[in-house]
Amino acid sequence: MKKYILKTIAIASITGGTMLAYGQPVAVAISATNQPDFPQIIIQPVDQMVYMGSNAIFTVTAQNADGYQWLHNGNPITDQTNTSLTITNCGVNDVGYYSCNVFKDIETVPTRSASLMVYTSSIDPQTGVDPVVVFGLPLMGSGGSGTCPGKYAGYINFTKTSQQGWGWAPDTSNGNTTFIATDTNRPNTKIQYGGGYGDNGCNQTAVTVPSPAISPVYRFSIYFTNNVPTNAYPIMLEGFKP
């Protein structure tokens, strides 16, 4: 595509024995120069959370594009150069962040990074409801406030977009009144919950949502004080619908 650029040319001239001041604009020239066309992303890939062993599909919609390259955690995926990416039989090794580089000639525009989480579930014989184990990939990022979560070097945000567009719903079937999120792998992490109505809580290793629950759905986060894991990491949710 050609864009026209207006250029002002300053010249010195002598008219009737009088010199015009140098730098005074007295002439205008218009020239054409080639400017690159960039692809435009219309629809970004969205986060996915799927049952272990099922499929996940990421898609991108773009205009003015002639090439695509999908990436997993920033690394190109071999032969995945279409507008959609299908991951079959999802397992723990597939957990992470997926993005796509969209091309137009030599110009590249990246999409957002969409997360993939996988989960398993089974019936708890004591409560009659599902404990759910969800795997997510930790992110590096320092911060902290107060005593909880306090200082941290990395974190995972566990969300569930398919459950009322937000998180996990407490399962009150069979009279269940216990809603707990637990890190069963490390003794020095902090777990935080946040409800859809703004209620929240934080504690070390495990956190309990009060019963009856204030919000219809909840999100959870694990904060790592040091030595952030580089592989998929689980949280156990007891008393929540899968």
Domains and CATH numbers, the chain: 2-34 (no CATH), 40-116 (2.60.40.10), 122-238 (no CATH)
The 10s digit of each residue's pLDDT in 143-168 is: 987 889 999 999 999 988 654 468 99
pLDDT at 27 over 60: no
Q: What is the pTM of this model?
A: 0.82
Convert the chain into a string of H (helix), E (strand) and C (coil): CEEEEEEEEECCCEECCEECCCCCEEEEEEEEEECCCCCEEEECCCCEEEECCCCEEEECEEECCCEEEEEECCEECCCCCCCEEEECCCCHHHCEEEEEEEEECCEEEECCCEEEEEEEECCCCCCCCCEEEEEECCEEEEECCCCCCCCEEEEEEECECCCCCECECECCHHHCCCCEEECCCCCCCEEEEEECCCCEEEEECEEECCCCCCCCCEEEEEEECCCCCCCCEEEEEECECC
The whole-number average pLDDT for the span 64-69 is 96
* Least confident stretch, 53-57, 124-128, 179-183: 124-128
The 10s digit of each residue's pLDDT in 206-233 is: 999 999 999 999 999 999 998 999 999 9
- Rounded-to-integer distance, Cα 152 and Cα 224, Å: 5
Residue of 27 and 88 predicted with greater confidence:
88
At residue 136, the pLDDT reads: 97
Average pLDDT over the chain, rounded to an integer: 86
Q: Tokens at residue 116, please? A: 């993939």
